[in-house]
Amino acid sequence: MMATCLYVSKCPLLQIHLGRQVCSRFLVASKLNKNQLHIHSLNCHRNLASACVRWWGSAACAVTPRSALLCLVGQYRHGVLLLPTRTLVSGLQLPPLPSTEELMKKHGCLRRVFKSRIKNKYILDPALAAVVVDHLGDLSEHKPWIFELNPGPGVVTRELLAAGASRILILENDRVFLPYSMALAKHVGERLHVKYADFFRIDPLGDGVVKQPAISSVELFNKVQPAHWKEEAVVRVVGMLSQEKEKTHLRHMCYRVLERSSLFEYGRMELNLFITEKVYNMITAPPGVDLVVYESTSILCQACFDIQLLLEEPNSRFLPVQVKGKTSYKHKANADRFVNDHMCLVRLTPKATLFDQGLTPQNGSQFIFLVRQLMAKPRAKLTDRMEIWVPGSLNILSDLGLRPDMRAGDLSPTQFMKLFLLLLKSGNFHNTWWEEEAYEQIHSINNRAA
């Protein structure tokens, strides 16, 4: 696709190809200094030494050896560049999508302002959708399946298709938005499949028939080829974590990783999820610093997943907009601790080496129980807690090189894992109340999460 662009130098008009490989957000020129173009960008993360940019009909710029190229096409509103929704993908005409204003008028769940937690948030800004998709890497053919969670009107879905994704499964838990996804599926054929399902209610515990939007993993993965744990991820998940049960869903995911059950019975799965800034700070918190933020979920997430922050965007870029409640903190440290002004796109990839040192799907629930029990009182002395539950474990703590005055909250996820594996080898862990209690507690928690 060609576009006429204007050089900000003595060079004449030039036509360039506007591809998707270099920029994923469009830049506004602010100052020109000799042969360099200084730019302001909300999100620019690729090399600009090319004339290729992400969008046709948007604002873009590039720097060439002898001149700076500037192309400005688009409109601005309140300082934000508004881009048209993509309606053409690989030569296929997609159904038109109403404007953001029309969608907000039609769907009350998009225009309501919540002071409490929001179940689903949506991306209606094509520029933000382009950024998100660009962070996912290569989506061309012969790549893993992509499970997109609750896409709403489908702005991100259109970008996934434009990026070359050939196997997308939409899991939408709100019937209101199902027609948008189904309309897209009719236009692109086998590249897009749609299910009325809730990703976080896969394989609910209990007897009887699974009722929608809950879904069975057998039905969900019927077209996915299982893989060995150390192979590449069989599925990429893209979506947002519901703010209603954010930490519960993360814990539930850790349990299933450690037990290699349900979703992870088929192999590893790459999770690309938007989570709140507060929860991101919690799952990446270091040990021993702030024992309110560093908790059992922090340890389990860091033990199970490689965690990578891909993108951070203000809450105002998502709908519905959430109004920040007026909360008075007695100490400024508490106000700083619970900053929650952004949504963070985080990549959670189960560790390929998780089961190399002695951890197995059979004893994974016992590791979870150990972490939860010790972190129930993170400021308590580790030696006191361990001797009560597992008599004779003091020698193990000294073998690990842990100080006698060390608190449970001072242990890193790696130290928790080493402690657990040494307990298993010592035999002190077997034939105690731990095993039975661990099994019952973990399954009751899974049942509540489902």
- Ranked by mean pLDDT, the top range of 49-53, 135-139, 249-253 is 249-253
- Please list, in sequence order, all residues whose beta carbon lies within 8 angstroms of the beta carbon of residue 331, skipping any fewer than 6 positions away: none
Q: Phi/psi at 367 (nearest 5 deg)?
A: -65, -45
At residue 422, the pLDDT reads 86
pLDDT in tens, 176-219: 999 999 999 999 989 999 999 999 988 886 656 778 888 888 88
Q: In angstroms, how far is the first alpha carbon of the chain from the final one?
A: 47
- Please list, in sequence order, all residues whose beta carbon lies within 8 angstroms of the beta carbon of residue 142, skipping any fewer than 6 positions away: none
Residue that wins the pLDDT comparison between 328 and 364? 364
How confident is the model over 241-266, as a mean pLDDT? 91
pLDDT in tens, 108-152: 888 777 655 677 899 999 999 999 999 998 887 667 899 999 999
Q: State both tokens at 317.
A: 């870029």
Burial of 2 per CB tally in 10 Å (0-12, 13-18, 19+): exposed
Burial of 448 per CB tally in 10 Å (0-12, 13-18, 19+): exposed
pTM of the predicted model as reported, rounded to 2 decimal places:
0.79
Say if CB 198 and CB 215 are below 8 A apart: yes
Per-residue pLDDT at 157 exceeds 90: yes
pLDDT in tens, 28-48: 333 333 333 333 333 333 333
At residue 207, the pLDDT reads 59
Among the ranges given (195-204, 255-264, 396-405, 427-436), the one the predictor scored with the smallest mean pLDDT: 427-436
At residue 334, the pLDDT reads 56
pLDDT band at 299 (very low <50, low <70, confident <90, very high): very high
Among the ranges given (34-38, 152-156, 236-240), the one the predictor scored with the smallest mean pLDDT: 34-38
Rounded CA-CA distance 282/338 in Å is 10
